[in-house]
Each structure stands twice: as C-alpha cells, then as structure tokens.
Amino acid sequence: MKEADMVVVLRCLFLLLVLLQPLGNAAAYSEHSCNATIGNYTASDAFGANLARLTSELPVNASTSPSLYASAAVGISPDRAFGLALCRGDITDAETCSGCLGDAFQQLRKLCAGDRDATFYHDLCTVRYSAEDFPARPEDNSPVINALDVNGSTFVGWDSRNATSRDTFLSLVGALFGEMAIYGAYNSSVRRFASAVMYINPEMPLVYGLAQCTPDLSPGQCTHCFQGLEELNKQWYDGREGGRILGVRCNFRYEAYQFYDGTANVRIGLPGDSPPPTGSNHKKMLVIVLCVSITVFCIMLLGCLLLIIRRLRKGEIRLEPSRSRSVSKTEEALMLWKIEESSSEFTLYDFPELGAATDNFSQYNKLGIGGFGPVYKGILADGTEVAVKRLAAQSGQGLVEFKNEIQLIAKLQHTNLVKLLGCCVQEEEKMLVYEYMPNRSLDYFIFDQERGTLLDWKRRYHIIEGIAQGLLYLHKHSRVKIIHRDMKASNILLDKDLNPKISDFGMARIFGSNMTHANTNRIVGTYLSTKDASGARQSPTYKKRLHGT
C-alpha cells in the first residue's frame, strides 16, 4: 500500500473513532455570572459566614428532595444570604445531583470572590446566591415570569454545526419547544421538567430537547417563563443543529443527539413501540442507519429510473410539463402569500404547526362536525387556544380565489363576530383558524334547564343586542355585504364573559363566491353529527329535517 493511501486510511479510522466515542466523555458545559452591583463581602464578615452555611446546606436539601430543587435564606438583614439550587430533571442519582451542586457552589465562590450576587450554569445543575431576595419575586402581584428579569443572567449558546434546512429545522425546534413547554408546565407537577424527541423524515436528524422550570413556579408562571425563552429563541436562532438558553428560573436545550438520560416524556412522530436510540450507542446507530439508508435509497432510485425509462420506451407513460408548471405556480403563490402576510395580524400557518396544536387532529380534540368540515380545539406553541376548522374539499376553488375570499373575511372586524386568526393551505387541505370560545354556544345554555338559569334577563338582552349589532354590521356597515342564512343558537358562540359572537358568517361566501345572486328559497343549514364547534348537541328532530328522513 502506498504512503498516501495509508494516510487516507488512518484519517478515516480516526474520524470513525471520534464518531463512535461515547457521549459521556465530552467536556461538561458551564457558564457563570458575577454581579458586584449589590455589594461585596469577605469570608470573615457576617454575609460570608451566612453564605458558607447556605452553600453547604442547599446541595443536600436539593439532592434529597423529589423535585431536585431547594431554596433557602440564612441570617438576618442586611447580611442575609439567599440561594437556589436545581438539578436537571432526568437525574436519578442523589449523589450525582449533590456532587454537581456542591462543585458548582465551590467554583462560583472562587470565580466571583467577594461579589454578593453570582450564578453558575452546568450541564446537570444550576445554582445562584445573592444578597437580594430573588426567590420571592415569582410570588409578586403578576404571575408573569420574564426570562430577562427574574430569570437572572440569561445565556444563549449554539452548536457550531449548521442545520441542513434552516427554515425547516427552525419550525421543528419551535414545535418541539411548544410541546415540551406544555408538558413541563402542566403535566410534570413535581419537577416541572420535560424531555422530548421528534422525528420528521429520514432526511432530517432526530431532534432531542429538554425544558425545565424551578418547581416552585405555578403552571402559569412556568408557561410565561418559557414564553420569554421562546422569544429569545426566535431572536437568536441562526440555523444550528443544537442550542440552549439558560436562565435561573427556566431553561431550554435542543440537540441532534440524545443528551439526557431515560425515555423522552414527549415523543413526536415516533411509533410507540420504537423508542429512539439512547445513551452512548446513539452515534453508532446513527452511522449504521445512515449507511443503510443511503444504500437503500440508491437502490430504490436506480430501480425507479429503470422502471420509468422502460415504461417511457413502451409508451405507457408520457411527461406532462403543464402539470409541473401548475404545481410550481402554486408553490410560488404560497411563498408570496407568506411574505405578504408576514407583517399583518393574519397568519398563514404551516400544516405541521396545526397538526401539533391539535395532536394530529385527534378525536379527543374534535369539537364537532359542521356543514363545511370538522372543527378541532388546538393549543399553539405560544399557549393560545384556537378552533381549527378543517374544510372539506368541496368548494372547487383555486388557491388565488381562496386567498382573496379569506383575506376579505379576515378584514371584517367586529366585537360580535368570531375573529378569523389565519389559515393553512397545503395541497388539497384548507383550514381556517378562529379564536376559541370557552363557553361554547348559546343553545348549550338555553336548551338546558340547569344552565339556562345562568342567563338572567339582563344577560339575555345583552346577547340579543350583540347578535343584532353583529348582523347589522354584516348587512350594512361591513366592506362586503354578507347574508348569514343559517342563524341559529348553535352558531352564536359565547366568550368567557358570555358576550355573543356570530360564527360561520363567512362560510357561505368562501364556498359560493362564484354566485351572482342569492337564492333564499333553498334550505340552508348545518348538520352536526354529535356536537358543534362549541360542544353543543343537536336534537334528533333537527337531523331528520335536514336529511329528509
């Protein structure tokens, strides 16, 4: 073997060894912040003594707590020392937690010697001490936890590797963080911690993530803290395969490899019986899967090409350039539409975004079936509750016509009309996103003996007046005159304060925009199989009248 060939072989072997190296051998990540603006101390003064006691007690208290968290205060003012200690939620060994916290406090007191306020972030734990009562801030009047305020010194860090598809990877990270935020805030009551893994397709890497709040925060406070991190993620993300945002009260991290222990709490796009590879075997599995995938893909591609060439020669198939041009024009129209609506309140949602919000349009989130398709409750990544109407493909409208109609409807703004927040268009799928009405519809109250008592005559008059104002706006004052033709109690939705809002006021226009005149003799109605968008059930007599049975 020639010398040059030997060098190439050795380099390949070295690269392979690096790829197969266990993840645990990587150097631990750490950041620290020293704040001298609130004073200094010495080891011999009162604050120094209180701090020494505090930093010796907190590692033990946190590591022995089920939440892996502890906060305390030692001494009396003005030399009182406040502290906080938190271990990562996937740690199962108390000794590991205690060791990380003890070492973090020890390093921090050396790095920030004499400063009365300091913070240390480690891969496995977070600690902070201060002369200010920072642990009490979340219990102030407002439930909002700002990531740039009480979250302490916030650090933003990114992996050096660029993602293959920046825009796609950004949407994946956003969806992943949204799911983790909901689980960590509301489903993980002890540790306020969530780990996640997301799979999209073989061409994209598995995305792993974790999100954690300090367990003393309420679900609402934790959610607001995560929202602060989400804004930072949008501001600083630059298309990398890994990154983290570290704060005292909440933190977030994602990577293209599994960096936490155990099985993910949140699994997106993965079958339940096929958990993702874990631990130090992940990179080995990644190399194997990559080699096998490339080989299979090449074989399939070669087979498809041979089959196409064979069928072309026999005349069984013909190329249709006109269809390709049509698809291209549709994609161009969608891209231009996104650019046009980027600065407005109307949002063009992605299909995966609405799929994640509705748990892939699960039956659990299904509110009902209207005349124009099913309606699902969804929770967006920022925590906003919405109603997603999945339109049946019956209008026959093209993209441009659909766009023009919903933009027109979206500009109808009135306090007694349900607000259209945005839409989603993907191939044959067309979806409308409305504001969510928590009190369902009017018939949910007036046709029920118990709930009907909640509507006294003052409220009923207020509802009647609101409906009249909404209809007056549609008939006279709006930029486009709309006749509802399906006014009924189930189409009057009620917000949290029982204010009435007319729904489905634009459906007839979107699906009948090519009509030149109105035919009011035709019976128009909405058939609901079980319940409408507000959850109200229809009577059997109404079903029979609609179907003529």
What tens digit of pLDDT does each residue of 433-483 get? 989 988 888 887 888 777 777 888 888 899 899 999 988 888 888 777 788
Name the residue range of residue 58's domain: 24-132
**Predicted confidence (pLDDT) per residue in 284-312, tens digit:** 556 676 777 788 788 888 888 887 877 77
Look up tokens 């997603």; give the residue: 388
Q: For residues 397 and 380, what is the distance between their CA atoms, to the nearest angstrom?
A: 28
Higher pLDDT pick, 248 / 529: 248
**Predicted confidence (pLDDT) per residue in 385-440, tens digit:** 999 988 876 555 566 667 777 777 777 888 888 888 888 887 778 888 989 988 88
- pLDDT on residue 117: 92
- pLDDT on residue 423: 86
Q: Which of 402, 419, 435 is the last residue of a domain?
A: 435
DSSP 160: S
| Tokens at 38, concatenated | 């609130």
For the question of whether the overall pTM of this predicted structure is more than 0.85, the answer is no
- pLDDT on residue 195: 93
Q: For residues 497 and 505, what is the distance between their CA atoms, to the nearest angstrom?
A: 21
Considering all CA atoms of the chain, what is the largest pairwise distance in Å, rounded to the nearest integer?
97
Q: What is the mean pLDDT of residues 72-81?
A: 93
Q: For residues 451 and 193, what is the distance between their CA atoms, to the nearest angstrom?
A: 39
Higher pLDDT pick, 24 / 287: 287
Q: CA quadruple 115, 116, 119, 124: dihedral positive or negative?
A: positive
78 cis-preceded (ω within 30 degrees of 0): yes
Whether residue 293 lies inside any domain: the answer is no
Q: How far is CA 3 from the centre of its chain?
A: 54
Whether residue 151 lies inside any domain: the answer is no
Question: What CATH code is carried by the domain that includes residue 212?
Answer: 3.30.430.20
Query: What does the angle CA 413 – CA 416 – CA 420 come to, to the nearest 5 degrees?
Result: 45
- pLDDT on residue 410: 77
* Domains of the chain: total: 4
Judgement on whether residues 427 and 337 belong to the same structural domain of the protein? yes
Higher pLDDT pick, 36 / 289: 36
Phi, psi of 475 (to 5 degrees): -80, -30
Q: Which of 276, 304, 324 is the last residue of a domain?
A: 276
H-assigned helices in 20-78: 46-63
Q: Is 149 a catalytic site residue?
A: no
Q: With residue 84 as reference, give the H or E element that holds it.
A: strand 81-87
Residue of 336, 411, 18, 382 whose CA lies nearest to 234: 382
- 90, 216, 486, 532: the catalytic one is 486
Judgement on whether residues 373 and 263 belong to the same structural domain of the protein? no
Assess whether pLDDT exceeds 80 at residue 369: no
Whether residue 89 lies inside any domain: the answer is yes
